[in-house]
Amino acid sequence: MTQLESARAGIITEQMKRVAERENVTAAFVRDKVAAGHLVIPANVRHLHGSAGRDPQHRTGTAPCRLDPTGIGRAVSTKINANIGASPVTSSTDEETDKLRWAVRWGADAVMDLSTGGDLNACRQAMVDHSTVPIGTVPIYSMIINRNIEELTYDDILREVENQARQGVDFFTIHAGVLREHLPLVRNRVTGIVSRGGSLLAKWMIHHGRENPLYDTFDEISAIMRQYDVTYSLGDGLRPGSLADASDAAQFAELDVLGELTHRAREAGVQVMVEGPGHVPMDQIRMNMEREREVCDDAPFYVLGPLVTDVFPGYDHITSCVGATEAARWGAAMLCYVTPKEHVGLPGPADVKEGCIAYKIAAHAADIAKGIPGARDWDDDMSRARAALNWPRQFELAFDGGTARALHDEDLEVDTDFCAMCGHDWCAMRISKDIRQFASGKDAEFQPQQPAARSPGLSEEQRKFLAERDRKPACHSGGGRGSG
């Protein structure tokens, strides 16, 4: 049985137990959320048991990694996904495998192989074999690697879905929600169809005058995915590629179909999450998140960004993580990172790191705002270390302690009770430590103020009397409350 079918039968799987352990919740809580379709555990049985690389058709010569299951849903901590993959212009399988390691090192909870160049089969298998996090793909890319999109047949589709499921891929982006009737809705868009999968399928439908082949074969695709327990990531082929196109008729027409497909996938025993928009003004993000929850019965929402402005190429990891924080706050379960190379080129390892860190910030900030249990404990530990001017502890707690330490050491190579920004005499943290020590009563010069002198109910004459009394030396050892 799939994770969904097991949960519906009341069974707590080992994967549910592991997710519960990672999220600090009960296994029964995880089971119930999976059963309702509000949480997914992308875990292809071949990746889960480390058997993918032992497929005689796809051997890589290395012992494959076993998947460490993760849960995706708004009731648990927000996850981030890193997109990598070779292009027809640059990169290779080895380079993409290095990016995979880099992404996991910097906090990616899932990784998608979006390769469109080189040996796609070998690259995909290497990803699965070297990953402890779920691996996702967009199968249509491989379906047309040696043919024009117009030549794609139903058999080609099912054959490739089976191939990638057998390799151990944990979740598929399937753009089955783009229908022929939606195509006229994009005519007046500024940026048209920006999804590669969506544009390819639109071209196929126009050429053949038929319905989306992924929609027509959806039940057959579901049967294959159920066999390996692959999770759907229902693709947003008509997502907006600019602020001007956000929240338009095309986007929401497709979303309605994704709601239908969510129920069909669940009925087939297949886990499902739904992909969301890419460019959305800040004031529309909450509405988009809430609309998806309603239309798709609270299936986990997986969003790209969204970018909240279109005019900062080179910095889109920042423009998008601003939107991602807001999206996660209002219900997005997984955030697909954007790197500085978005819109301008293929990201390298350094770009992967920048994208991952930006999105870890977004996810963590949203989890604090949502009140995810334990989310703020890390921050409170850091605050205590800062208040104590304990530099080693601060760098230990920092997400990227190496960078924090290097920046500190540019000016001061020793751990002083101040930093180079303020120096010793102007350091507010150091001064605050002195104040706290003085006010605690531990300092030799400390004299507690009389509580009565601060009472708002005293007359001015009474205040003057108490002030004069406090200036006189005490005549016995019983000074303070109740003396005099």
Identify the three-state secondary structure at position 1.
coil
Q: What kind and span of H or E run contains 276?
A: strand 272-276
Identify the three-state secondary structure at position 40.
strand
pLDDT of residue 62: 55
Kindly state the DSSP code that residue 343 receives in the 8-state scheme.
T
Phi and psi at 133, nearest 5°, equal -105, 160
Report whether 232 contacts 271 (CB < 8 A). Answer: yes
Residue matched to tokens 């992924």: 214
* Calpha distance 250→195 (Å, rounded): 13
Report whether 317 contacts 360 (CB < 8 A). Answer: no
Give me the residues paired with residue 112 across strands. 83, 136
- pLDDT confidence of 121, banded at 50, 70, 90? very high
Using alpha carbons only, give the angle 64, 68, 69 rounded to the nearest 5 degrees. 130
Which is nearest to 165 in space by CA: 303, 57, 19, 7? 57
With both helix axes pointing from N to C terminus, report the angle between 349-370 and 316-329 in degrees, rounded to the nearest 10: 30
Report whether 109 contacts 336 (CB < 8 A). Answer: no
Q: What is the DSSP string of 397-427?
A: HSTTHHHHHHHHHTT-SS--SS-TTTTTTT-
Report whether 364 contacts 109 (CB < 8 A). Answer: no
For residue 146 the two structure tokens come to: 């040696």
- pLDDT confidence of 470, banded at 50, 70, 90? low
Kindly state the DSSP code that residue 13 receives in the 8-state scheme.
-
Q: Is 472 exposed, middle or buried (0-12, 13-18, 19+ CB in 10 A)?
A: exposed
Which is nearest to 167 in space by CA: 126, 216, 204? 126
With both helix axes pointing from N to C terminus, report the angle between 120-129 and 93-105 in degrees, rounded to the nearest 10: 30
For residue 340 the two structure tokens come to: 């500085």
- 239-243, 365-369, 457-461 — which is least confidently predicted? 457-461
- Report CA-CA distances (Å) from 82 to 221, 268, 290, 317: 25, 28, 24, 12
- 7-21, 394-408, 413-427 — which is least confidently predicted? 413-427
- Report CA-CA distances (Å) from 372 to 12, 82, 107, 386: 23, 23, 18, 24
CB neighbours of residue 447 within 10 Å: 10
pLDDT at 58 over 70: no
Report whether 313 contacts 58 (CB < 8 A). Answer: no
200-228 residue pLDDT tens:
999 999 999 999 999 999 999 999 999 99
pLDDT of residue 63: 63
Spell out the domains of the chain, with CATH numbers in brackets: 3-370 (3.20.20.540), 377-439 (no CATH), 449-484 (no CATH)
With both helix axes pointing from N to C terminus, report the angle between 349-370 and 93-105 in degrees, rounded to the nearest 10: 30
pLDDT at 139 over 90: yes
- pLDDT confidence of 477, banded at 50, 70, 90? very low
